[in-house]
Amino acid sequence: MINLSGKVALVTGASRGIGRACAESLAASGAAVVVNFLSSQDAAKDLVNLIQSRGGRAIAVRADVSERDDVVAMVDVIGEHFGRLDVIVSNAAAGGFRPLTQVTPAGFDSILRMNAAPLIWLTQAALPLFNASPEISRVIAISSHGSIRGIANYGLIGTSKAALESLVRHLAFELGRSGVNFNAIMPGIVETDAIKTLPGSAGMLSSVREQILVRDRMLQPADVAGAVLFLSSHLSDLIQGQVLVIDGGISIRV
């Protein structure tokens, strides 16, 4: 049983999908949770109420993580409210599927600002709180297979995830010895809102069901949350700058 009592965890994009599952699991393990959202205020408040009804501590904070000033303001709120920050799960991401032949300069800039740069802004803003703690602080980024593999119409998002994983390694290089662990999780396809709204998602999900190598399990948000819990705990102290694949073995196929 992982016990995160006394810790404070921030999950970006926690109003739904994988982020919500991570926030629920962190709270169930005893951490106070900051539920970050952009537009889904009601969903974020519902999650805070749910955590509180189970005896946990949580607050919802709106911030656009692609905006550095928003991130700084959010971390200020966390400092004022909880006085510490131990875990950041950088989960929020966006971006449409389209061929690289249709990408514009503005689209390229925007995807990197949304899916990669927030890891820098979150780390910069949290550093004073991290440094005030004698314990290891943890930053966990949610990547995807597109960082290293080809997926139809995913070139732009895949590039942003490759940048995200490089940031994980370089931040670990810069700050690991100061007591901050940076790791990424690479989930396979999880049936969240983001996936369900994609054209052809039904075919994609049935192909996953055929290829998975853990009986006929489908990946659930809770499976990703389990890996987040592990990387949030002392059990992972010596895991630094790595990418943990949670995909039921799909990516070992040729």
Ligand X SMILES: NC(=O)c1ccc[n+]([C@@H]2O[C@H](COP(=O)([O-])OP(=O)(O)OC[C@H]3O[C@@H](n4cnc5c(N)ncnc54)[C@H](OP(=O)(O)O)[C@@H]3O)[C@@H](O)[C@H]2O)c1
Applying CB under 6 A, does 232 fall inside the site for ligand X?
Answer: no
Q: How many of the other CB atoms lie within 10 Å of CB of 135?
A: 13
Residue 80, judged by CB atoms within 10 A of its CB (0-12, 13-18, 19+), counts as exposed
State which residue, 174 or 193, has the beta carbon closest to ligand X. 193
Catalytically annotated residue among 7, 45, 154, 196: 154
Among candidates 3, 66, 73, which has minimal Cα distance to 34? Answer: 73
Applying CB under 6 A, does 40 fall inside the site for ligand X?
Answer: yes
Taking the C-alpha atoms of residue 159 and residue 135, their distance in angstroms, rounded to an integer, is: 33
Applying CB under 6 A, does 194 fall inside the site for ligand X?
Answer: yes
Q: Which stretch binds ligand X (CB under 6 A): 1-9, 185-193, 200-208, 225-233?
A: 185-193
Q: Could you tell me the smallest distance in angstroms from the CB atom of residue 145 to ligand X?
A: 7
* CA Rg value for the chain: 17
Q: Please, which of residues 99-128 interact with ligand X by CB under 6 A?
A: 114
- Residue 45 is among the residues annotated as catalytic for this protein: no
Applying CB under 6 A, does 17 fall inside the site for ligand X?
Answer: yes
Taking the C-alpha atoms of residue 58 and residue 24, their distance in angstroms, rounded to an integer, is: 10
- What are the residues binding ligand X (CB under 6 A)? 12-13, 15-19, 36-40, 64-66, 91-94, 114, 142, 144, 187, 189-190, 192-195
